[in-house]
Each structure stands twice: as C-alpha cells, then as structure tokens.
A and B are shown apart, each in its own frame.
Chain A
C-alpha cells in the first residue's frame, strides 16, 4: 500500500478527530521522547565545556575533543591512552553480557515451565508473585540486596553458622552482590518475552518429537529453542541494554574498586558539571551497545521485526 493511501485509510477508519489525536500522540512520542533527547545529547557531546574553554575556543564551537578524551585521556598525560576509563568501559560491556547470559540460563527453565503449564491458577499466582517485588523502588531493592549480602547479612550469617566460613565473605568487593543485583533488576524483562513465545508453542510438537524418540535436550534444541528465538533475543537485548546502562545497582552494590561506565557518566554530569564530556561518554556507550546487539542478532539470524513481537 502506498503511504498516502495508508494515511487516508487511517483517517477513514478512526475518524478525523480520533485520528488526529492518535497521530499527534505518536508524533509526540517520537519527537519528544525519542528524537529530541538523543539529538540534544549528541549536540552536547560535540561542544566544549563552557566553564573551562581552551584559549581561542568558543562555547558554540563544534569539536570532537570530548570523544578524544575518552580514548586518549587528558593532553600531556603519561599514558598514550585513557586506560582507566577504557578499562571501565570494556569491563562494563563484558559484565553486562555476563549478566545477560546468566539471566538467560536462569529464566529459560522457568519460562518453559510457566509457558507449558497452560495458565492454571497456580501458575498465575506464581507470575504475580514474581511481579510483586518490582512494585518496590529499584534503589530500595538494591539496598535490600546490599543488606542481604553484607558482612552481617543473612547469607554470611547462615554460612558462618553452618561452619562453612570463619570470616564474613566480602560479597560486595567480589562483585557478587553487583551481578546478583543487576540480574535481579532486569530478570523479568528476560522472563516475560520468553514465557510469551513458549506459551504459544503447540504442545503437540513437543509430544510429536517425544513420540519419535527425541531426548529432552534434542526437543529443546530442535523444537523449543528455535520457536522461542525471538523471545530469547528480545529478552537478551533488553537485559543487556539495561544492565550496561544501569546506575542504581552499581552505585549501591558495586565494590570500592569497581566502577560501572554509567558511574563515570554520572560523575561527569553531576560532580564535574561537564555535561558535554558526560554526553560523549553516554553516546559512546549507547552506540557500542546497539552495535553489539545488532552483531549478535546477525550471528544468530534474528530479524529486527521478530524482537518487536
């Protein structure tokens, strides 16, 4: 269908008034919630910081110095590269991938169980019980985990009482609390897309495979996982993107020596008041994350359209 016809059809189906309202809302969403924030961030990142301009530099000059800074560090530094920040960046990406994979392995069996039990009352209750903790603020949940993983927390207490350890184990500095917190923060975004696609899988296909002698591993490898692929991709994308861009969990649960890249962005904005530098860092993280997601989608042959399902 041609585009102008599509619009004519749209207004004929919805009427002029309702059609205009819907049209306006969609336009508002796209312009104010998607385009403008990103464009203004990009714009910021391409300008120098007005409070410490170099000689001969003006605040509305376009410059790549903010990006240069992330890669090469301050001019005249002893290292050729900005090792500290780059290491934080790489570590953040790898850790976000690890969190994503960990969530995948945790959620797949659960999603399979929920999806194949055909919405009985018990299953619905289970789903509600999974959602209820998310009515609590993300930061409060992170603090709850910090208490649980703390030196005098439940886990250390139990392990010491059972005689497994003599000294409390430092979960915070070992980053275990951080991974647990990040995994926990976004686990439902992994679970629900998978649950939805697995629920739509015809049970007879599993029985047919079983009837033909397939083992459970083969049934999952050949029947369930190919069917669930869009849901898996959608869940992994969301968990990866959100973990890489998380701030609350790293702030609260991160060890003293470990920085999350978003914490650097936060510092540029909040502590140093260098929004231009922070914007450049944020843009780099965003583009890198998108590139990684697209690469993996290419490798596993997932279409963009599948993810939206």
Chain B
C-alpha cells in the first residue's frame, strides 16, 4: 500500500455566490495521520472535503497533496478516494464488482479483479461474500465494503464523509475501532468528517474544530478537549459549565474572573488566550462536569448550590445543581458503587482544581 502523504490547505476560501462556506482555512495534515474535521452541520466541513477530493474548486487558495498543487485536477485525477455519507455503493453490482470498480476502470481483467476482491474481502473480514448484492449485507458490512472499494484504488489519501452516521450506536463504536485499525494497517492519510465529537476524539491524531466556515482550533484530542481555544470549541466538544463575567486579576497564566452570579473564581488561562486577556475584559470560564468534586476547596474555587436532580447513567451519575441567581451547573461522578445521593433541595459546596478550568475572552457558544 502507498504510504501516507501530506495534505496542505493553504489559505482556502470557498464561496457560493455571496455565501462564504469556508473562510481562510490553513491546515497542514501530516502523512499517515488520521485527521478529523469536527463541527456542527452546515459548518463547511463537507465543503472542505469536496475541495480536497476535487469535486469543487476553492475560490481562493491551494490544495496540496504530497506537495503537489491539485488546482485543475478533477476527482478522478487526484490520489484520493472518497467514502460518501450514504456510502453510494452501486446497488446493481455484486460486492466484488463494487470493490474492484476502480480496477475495472483501469482495464484489469476479471480474474485479477476477482483475486484482488477476495484479498480485500479477507481484510475487511467478509470472506466469500463477493457474490452478494449490497442490499443483502447489513449496515456494518456495507460500511466495510465501502472502505474496501475506496482502498482498492490504492489512494494516498482516504476521505470519509460521516460514513458512520447511519449506523446504530453499538456498531458505530465498533466501527470506530475498526476504522482506526485499518488506517494503521494501511498507513495512508485519513481525512474524516464528523459532527460527533466522540468519533473525532477516539480516532484522530489531530482534530480541526469548525464553526460557520471558520476553523477555530486544530490540535490533538487532548488539546481540543482540555484547552479549547474559543468558547465555541469549549462548548461544542464535550459538555461544559460556562461562567460569564469580567477579568478582575491576572497572575501569569492564571486569572481571576468576577462571575455574574457565582462570585470570584480562579482559573487557568487557556493557552490560546495567554497574553490576550486584560483586567476588565468580558470573559468566559469553562469547567467540565467531571472535574467538579463534591468537597470544599479554596474560596476562589468553591461554589455552593442547591441539588435540583440526579440522573443515574450506569457508569456515572449526573447531578444537576442550581447556584445563586438560578445558575445551572452540571456535575458528573463515576459510579464507584458508593451512591453520592443527595436529596433534592440539599445545599452542597463543591470545588475544582484551577488548572482544570479554562478562561478565555467571551464569544459565541455552540447552540445546543
């Protein structure tokens, strides 16, 4: 199989009439990486993928694959293969014909194609299923056939447009692992489009979080989850409690924020915002539900609230709290066999580690 090649997007703008679908995208994807574009629907991630695959030309900027400018090359001339959201298997062709369609195009004999199809069917753990029609396969099997079909062309870059979105939860989780395994086995660059942050975080070497045509942050899963660059990233990736207020003091990479309803709180400044915050600025502080602890800490990292509700989710408890002025706060605790049950209406004090919270200039949140 071909080894992975770099994909570089240089200052890509994509416009449809007056509408700007993608704004100034600069992305460098290392060869052999599993790279994800993560964002809500309509954020322009599929548009970027279509620009890489060659189905549309960017209004400005360059797409480089393996250092070569792809301008003017159609999808059939690029070393990419695309897996469609609905898979787009050919329903009237048998599985083996589907898989080896790219070889049929290049004029390989039926014998060669059959042999290659059998190899690929073994790889995707569907041996002997070549003579079926796609409609005779289950959702997960179709998925694997689509992957085999894309890999058959021996592309340098595999592009995946939310291919797991039609599967049920269990199968989706299973296919995540499988996709990651296949990627590591074939060693080529994967570019993956998804709105599911779980998929992006589990599979990717690197994630680009997109909002309304803009790439807010590029980083590995930890960077995106633990140190979000913008309020959008903080609220879109995983769950977060947001505290709005104004910066009251800055001390190195820590800041104190005078929150609107929960008093003064201390937090780490997110790396992307270090040096950009000044005292008096509107700011937002984010604390993840799972870093909250049901115990008192320092005055500046402790919040008191009333218990509203508790949900048992099997592996964890979600506790919904109402702070002063009706401030909604969510807390998550692992189920370790000791039910932390609090009666509704109980007043509790809980705290967090300032290094587990991030503060950044105020901005738009993900609407959900």
Contacts and interface: CB of A to CB of B under 8 A. Distances in A.
Interface of A: 202, 204-205, 207-215, 218, 222-223, 226-227
A205 B105 contact: no
B88 A212 contact: no
B223 interface: no
B101 A212 contact: yes
Interface string B83-107: 0111010111100000001101110
B92 A211 contact: no
A212 B105 contact: yes
Given A213-B153, A223-B90, A208 B82 contact: yes
A227 B88 CA distance: 13
Contacts of A212: 76, 81, 101-102, 105, 149, 153
B57 interface: no
B217 to A, nearest CB: 30
A214 B105 contact: yes
B270 interface: no
Given A204-B86, A218-B105, A211 B75 contact: yes
Contact of A202 (B75, B88, B93, B105): B88
Nearest to B78: A211
Contacts of A211: 53, 55, 75-76, 80-82
Nearest to B81: A211
Contacts of B75: 207, 210-211
B127 interface: no
A208 B88 contact: yes
In the A-B complex, the 7 residue pairs with the closest CB atoms: A204-B88, A212-B102, A213-B76, A208-B88, A204-B84, A211-B75, A226-B92
A89 to B, nearest CB: 38
Given A202-B86, A204-B85, A227-B92, 12 more contacts: A207-B55, A208-B82, A208-B88, A211-B76, A212-B76, A213-B77, A213-B102, A213-B153, A214-B76, A222-B90, A222-B93, A222-B104
Nearest to B54: A211
B156 to A, nearest CB: 14
B93 A208 contact: no
B280 interface: no
A222 B86 CA distance: 19
24 contacts: A202-B86, A202-B88, A204-B86, A207-B82, A207-B88, A208-B90, A209-B90, A210-B74, A210-B75, A211-B53, A211-B76, A212-B81, A212-B101, A212-B102, A212-B153, A213-B76, A213-B102, A214-B76, A218-B104, A218-B105, A222-B93, A222-B101, A226-B92, A227-B92
Given A212-B102, A213-B106, A205 B88 contact: yes
Interface residues of B, number: 24
Nearest to B152: A212
A31 B105 CA distance: 53
Contacts of A226: 92
Interface of B: 53, 55, 74-77, 80-82, 84-86, 88, 90-93, 101-102, 104-106, 149, 153
A214 B149 CA distance: 14
A227 B85 CA distance: 20
Contact of B101 (A202, A204, A207, A214): A214
Nearest to A219: B105
A47 B279 CA distance: 109
Most chain B CB atoms below 10 A, which of A208, A215, A218, A227? A208
A207 B88 CA distance: 9
A197 to B, nearest CB: 12
A169 B84 CA distance: 56
A205 B84 CA distance: 9
Contacts of B55: 207, 211
Nearest to A201: B91
A121 to B, nearest CB: 16
A70 to B, nearest CB: 43
Most chain A CB atoms below 10 A, which of B77, B81, B90, B149? B90
A205 B153 CA distance: 16
Nearest to A205: B88
A231 to B, nearest CB: 14
Nearest to B77: A213
A209 B55 CA distance: 12
Contacts of B105: 212-215, 218
Contacts of B90: 205, 208-209, 222-223
A210 B93 CA distance: 16
Given A213-B102, A213-B105, A226-B92, A208 B84 contact: yes
B193 to A, nearest CB: 14
A279 B34 CA distance: 75
Nearest to B86: A204
A223 B91 CA distance: 9
B71 to A, nearest CB: 18
Contact of A209 (B53, B80, B91, B101): B101
Contacts of B88: 202, 204-205, 207-208
A306 to B, nearest CB: 12
Contacts of A207: 55, 75, 82, 84, 88
Nearest to A213: B76
A204 B85 CA distance: 9
A223 B105 CA distance: 13
Most chain B CB atoms below 10 A, which of A210, A212, A214, A222? A212
A233 to B, nearest CB: 14
Contacts of B91: 227
Contacts of B106: 213
Contacts of A208: 82, 84, 88, 90
Contacts of B149: 212
B94 to A, nearest CB: 12
Nearest to B146: A208
Nearest to B153: A212
A205 to B, nearest CB: 5
A230 to B, nearest CB: 11
A184 B104 CA distance: 39
